[in-house]
């Protein structure tokens, strides 16, 4: 049984990830500020911390106390189409908050980090279908923020050995949305 943190676990995708992890017997803690999710989405059996990933002292304490094995980072402010107007907020939440989690993961020996990026990193790519070989060409601050975190994860693996996986969902829908 692994000890797993799910950021954004009160949100649409994160709550389903937490469900799946619990069903597989893992210990799950959810960190969510409830800005885009609902407390009712937190699965029974998961621990819940009401907090913000941009609060680095909180993140550092949580990681030091819990000693997570894995992190599923689904917390984000989905700002596609708005990010031009909320640049500081976008970068603070989507870059600085993510870097807080990456730093804490490195400092506490997390075994694996799963990052939820976005199809926005491709921009208006004319290449269809898109594949992992499609070059990133983010065109707005949201896509730039997501791509910056992807690049930091690559650097973190090279410098510190942090194992990670990135997925880039697009147009997801379903229960708890």
Domain definitions of the chain by residue range: 3-167
Q: How far apart are CA 69 and CA 27, in angstroms?
A: 10
Residues 66-124: tens digit of each pLDDT: 999 999 999 998 876 788 898 999 999 999 999 999 999 999 999 999 999 999 999 98
Assess whether pLDDT exceeds 80 at residue 133.
yes
- At the top level of CATH, the class of 3-167 is alpha beta
pTM of the model: 0.95
Give me 163's structure tokens: 């194992």
The mean per-residue pLDDT over the stretch 137-165 comes to 97
Sheet holding 70-73, edge to edge: 47-50, 27-32, 3-7, 70-73, 112-116, 164-167
Confidence at residue 99, expressed as pLDDT on a 0 to 100 scale: 99
Is 70 one of the annotated active-site residues of the chain? Answer: no
Cβ proximity of 106 and 161 under 8 Å: no
Nearest-10 crossing angle of helices 97-108, 141-160: 10
Catalytic residue, chosen from 91, 122, 142, 147, is 142
Question: Is it the case that residue 161 has pLDDT exceeding 80?
Answer: yes
Structure tokens at 157: 């693996």
**Per-residue confidence band for 47, with pLDDT thresholds at 50, 70 and 90:** very high
């Amino acid at each position: 049984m692994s000890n797993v943190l799910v950021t954004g676990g009160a949100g649409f995708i994160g709550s389903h990830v937490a469900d799946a992890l619990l069903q597989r017997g893992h210990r799950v803690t959810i960190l969510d500020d409830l800005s885009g999710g609902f407390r009712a989405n937190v699965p029974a059996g998961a621990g819940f911390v009401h907090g913000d990933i941009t609060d680095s002292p909180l993140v550092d304490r949580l990681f030091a106390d819990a000693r997570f094995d894995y992190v599923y980072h689904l917390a984000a402010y989905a700002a596609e189409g708005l990010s031009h107007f909320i640049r500081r907020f976008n970068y603070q939440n989507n870059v600085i908050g993510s870097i807080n989690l990456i730093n804490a993961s490195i400092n506490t020996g997390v075994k694996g980090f799963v990052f939820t990026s976005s199809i926005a990193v491709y921009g208006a790519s004319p290449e269809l279908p898109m594949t992992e070989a499609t070059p990133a060409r983010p065109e707005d601050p949201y896509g730039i923020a997501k791509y910056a975190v992807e690049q930091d994860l690559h650097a973190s693996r090279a410098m510190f050995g942090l194992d990670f996986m990135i997925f880039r969902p697009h147009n997801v829908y379903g229960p708890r949305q």
